[in-house]
Amino acid sequence: MAETLTATSEDIAVELTPSKASPKPGKLFIGGEFVDALSGKTFETRNPATGAVITDIAEAGTEDVELAVRAARKAFEDGSPWRKMSPRDRSRALWKLAELIRQNADELSELETLDTGKPIFESSKFDIPQAAECFEYYAGWPTKIAGETIANTAGGEALVYTLREPIGVCGQIIPWNFPLQMLSWKVAPALACGNTIVLKPAEQTPLTALRFAELTLEAGIPAGVFNVVTGFGPTTGAAMVSNPGIDKIAFTGSVEVGKEIMRTAAGTLKRVSLELGGKSPNVVFADADLETAAKYALGGIFFNQGEMCTAGSRIFVEEAGYDAFMSVLRSRAQKMVAGDPLHPKTRLGALISEEHLNRVLNYVAVGKEEGANVAIGGTRIGSKGYFMKPTVLEGVTNQMRVAQEEIFGPVASVIKFKDIEEGIREANNSQFGLAAAIWTRDVKKAHNVAKRIKAGTVWINTISTTDNAVPFGGYKASGFGRELGRAAIDLYTETKSVWVDLNQ
Ligand code: NAI
Ligand code: MG
C-alpha cells in the first residue's frame, strides 16, 4: 500500500476527468422493485471532487421503512422462495452476486469514486474487488453452517442437539467511507445465514448500494430478501431502529449514533452489533525497520484520505528512533498531493463533504492551540471540491484532543515515547480499541506488546490489512460484535437447543 502513495500533480486538476457512469435516478428498492418514497421527497447526492450534484435520491420516511420491513418479513416466512432455497442454491446465488460485482466492476468503481471522492485507483483495486471477494468467501458458508450434538451431563437418556437458525429481518446501517465494502461485510454473511435485509446506505453515498440492488435480482435472490431504504440517519435510520419488525441492527459509524442506536434498540430488544471507529495507535520501536515503518505509516493514515475507522492516527515513535523515522515520513508525506479522484494516477482524493472538511480543518486549529506543531500540510487545497493537504502534527501529547478524538481525515498525530512500558500505556490510553500496529524486529517484544494492547486487531510489522476470513471489530468504545470470518456467522444466527427424551 505504501508504495502507491506517490504524488501525481502539484494542484487539483482544474478540468476534472468526465465520468462515464450513469447513475440511476434515486428510488427505494423494496420487495424487488424500484419505487418512489411515499412522500415523493428526494435529496441530493454530491460529488466531493466538485461539489456538484450527481443525482436525486429518494428519501424514505417511516412508512417506507415499514413497507421494506414487511417485504423482508414476507420473504423470511416459512414457505417463501428464500426459505425454500437449499443451502447449496443460496451458496450459488452468493457466488453469482460476486461474479456480477466483478462483471460490473468498472461501473461500480466509478460510481463509488463519484460518490465518495476516493481515488479510482482505490475503488477499482480495493473497494470493489474486496466486496466481490467477501461474497465469494461467504458463498462457501451456507453449506457449512451446522449445530452440535451435546452430551447430557446430568445423566438420563436424552439426546440434545443445536440448530443454527437465521435471526430474521436484519437492519443494516452503513457509513460513507467504504460504501460497497461495508455493504458486503454486512449483507454477505446475513444472506449466507438465511436472513432477509433492510439496508440503509449513508446519505452521502447511496449509489453503489442501489446498483447492487439490481444485481441481487440478476443473481436470483428472491424479491424482498434484500431491500434498500435511502435517507438520513435521524429519520430513515431511526425509523429502522425503532421498528418492531426488525430483529437485529448492525451498525458502522460514529460513537454518538452507536449509543443512540443501543438506547432505542432496547425498546424492542433487538440484537445489536456496533463498529464505531477508533484512534488506533501505530507504535514504532527504535529497533524496527524504520524506513518500512514510515512508508506504511503513511498508508495507515492517508489511505482513503484518512477516512478510515482503523486509521493509524496516533503514531507513537520511540525517542531513539524518532529522527530516522520522521525524516522518511516527512519527506514522503511532503510529496503526496491530492488530485482528481477519477484520474488513474491519483492516490489522494477529496474528503466526503464541506462540513466534514471543515470539521477536520478545525482539528488542525485545535491541535495548534494545544501546542502541536503542523510539520506538514494543515490546509485546504483550492476552493473547488473538498481537498486537503496530508497533514502531520508533531509535538503531540497523548492527552491532547487531537490524540484522543477521532478526526477521520488525513491528519496524523505524532507522539514520542521513552520505552516499552510508556508505549503500551499510552497506546492503551484511549476510549477506543479498534486496531493497533507495532513495529519491531524483536519477536518476543512484538508478541508481548500485541498481547497487552487492548484492541480488536493488532498488526505486527504491517498496518491496515483486513481479510474476509479474519474477525474484525472493537474493544471498548470501538463497539462490540465481530464481523467477517466465522465470527459473522455467530452474529447472524440464533442457536436453538433441541431436547429429545429417550426414556421409554
Ligand atoms: P454517523 O454515525 O452519523 O453516520 C453513519 C450512518 O448512520 C449513516 O448511514 C447515517 O445516516 C446513520 N445514522 C445517523 N444517525 C442515525 C440515527 N440516529 N439512527 C440510525 N442511523 C443513523 O456518522 P457521520 O455523521 O457520517 O460521521 C461523523 C463521524 O463519525 C466521522 O467524522 C467519524 O469520526 C465517525 N464515523 C466512523 C465511521 C466508522 O467507520 N466507524 C464511519 C463514519 C463515520
Ligand atoms: Mg451524521
Which of 176, 207, 257, 431 for mutating ligand 1's site (highest number of atoms within 8 Å of CB)? 257
What are the helix (H) ranges across 163-289? 179-192, 207-218, 238-242, 255-266
For residues 26-48, average pLDDT: 96
pLDDT at 9: 44
Q: Which of 240, 254, 263, 464 has most ligand 1 atoms within 8 Å of its beta carbon, as the pocket-test mutant? A: 254
Q: Residue 282 forms beta bridges with which residues?
A: 315, 437
Q: Give the per-residue pLDDT at 58.
A: 97
Query: Percentage of the chain surpassing pLDDT 70?
Result: 94
Q: Is 307 a catalytic residue?
A: no
Ligand 1 geometric centre to CA of 175 (Å): 6
Give residue-wise pLDDT tens across range 444-470: 999 999 999 999 999 999 999 999 999
pLDDT of residue 151: 82
Write the residue with the smallest CA distance to atom 40 of ligand 1: 309
Interval 10-24: pLDDT, tens: 445 445 666 666 666
Cα(203) to centroid(ligand 2), Å: 9
Q: Give CATH for domain 18-276+480-495.
A: 3.40.605.10
**135-150: per-residue pLDDT in tens?**
999 999 999 999 999 9
Q: What is the pLDDT of residue 393?
A: 98
Taking the CA of residue 17 as centre, how many other CA atoms within 13 Å lie in the half-sphere pointing to its CB?
17
- Assign 6 a pLDDT band (cuts: 50, 70, 90): very low
Contact 42, 365 (CB under 8 A): no
- Which triple of cell numbers denotes residue 204? 452521502
Rounded Cα distance between 258 and 260, Å, is: 5
258 CA distance to ligand 1 middle (Å) = 8
> Looking at residue 5, what is its pLDDT?
40
**Domain 281-467 CATH (choose: 3.40.920.10, 3.40.50.150, 2.30.42.10, 3.40.309.10):** 3.40.309.10
Question: Among 80, 492, 70, 83, which Cα is nearest to 245's?
Answer: 70
C-alpha cell at 332: 514522503
Please report the pLDDT score of residue 10 as a whole number.
45
pLDDT at 152: 74
List the one residue out of 385, 391, 314, 324 whose CA is nearest residue 356: 385
Question: In this structure, which ligand is nearest to the CA of 239?
Answer: 1
Mean predicted lDDT score pLDDT of the chain: 95
Residues with Cβ within 8 Å of 369's Cβ and at least 6 positions away in sequence, in order, are none
Residue 21 has a pLDDT of 65
- pLDDT confidence bin for 2, thresholds 50/70/90: very low
Average pLDDT over residues 296-317: 98
**pLDDT on residue 20:** 62
Buried b (16+ CB within 10 A) or exposed e, 328-352: bbbebbeebbbbbbbbeebbbbbbb
Which residue's CA is minimally distant from atom 9 of ligand 1? 202
Indicate the range of 89-93, 151-155, 427-431, 474-478 predicted with least confidence. 151-155
The reply to whether 18-276+480-495 and 281-467 are identical in fold is no
* pLDDT average, residue stretch 334-340: 93
**Distance (Å, whole) CA 168 – CA 225:** 10
pLDDT band at 235 (very low <50, low <70, confident <90, very high): very high
Look at residue 8 and tell me whether its pLDDT is greater than 60.
Answer: no
Radius of gyration of the chain (CA): 23
Residue ranges per structural domain of the chain: 18-276+480-495, 281-467
275 flagged as catalytic: yes
Mean pLDDT throughout 210-220?
A: 97
9: cell is 500533480
| pLDDT at residue 7 tops 50 | no
Note the helical H segments in 303-374.
322-335, 354-369
Retrieve residue 504's grid coordinates. Answer: 421409554
Is 472's pLDDT higher than 70?
A: yes
Give residue 277 CA to ligand 1 midpoint distance, Å: 10
Instruction: Give yes or no for residue 331 having a pLDDT over 50.
Output: yes
Contact 170/196 with Cβ under 8 angstroms? yes
Give the binding-site residues of ligand 1, using a 6 Å CB cut-off.
Answer: 173-177, 200, 202-203, 232-234, 237-238, 241, 252-254, 257, 260-261, 275-277, 309, 406, 408
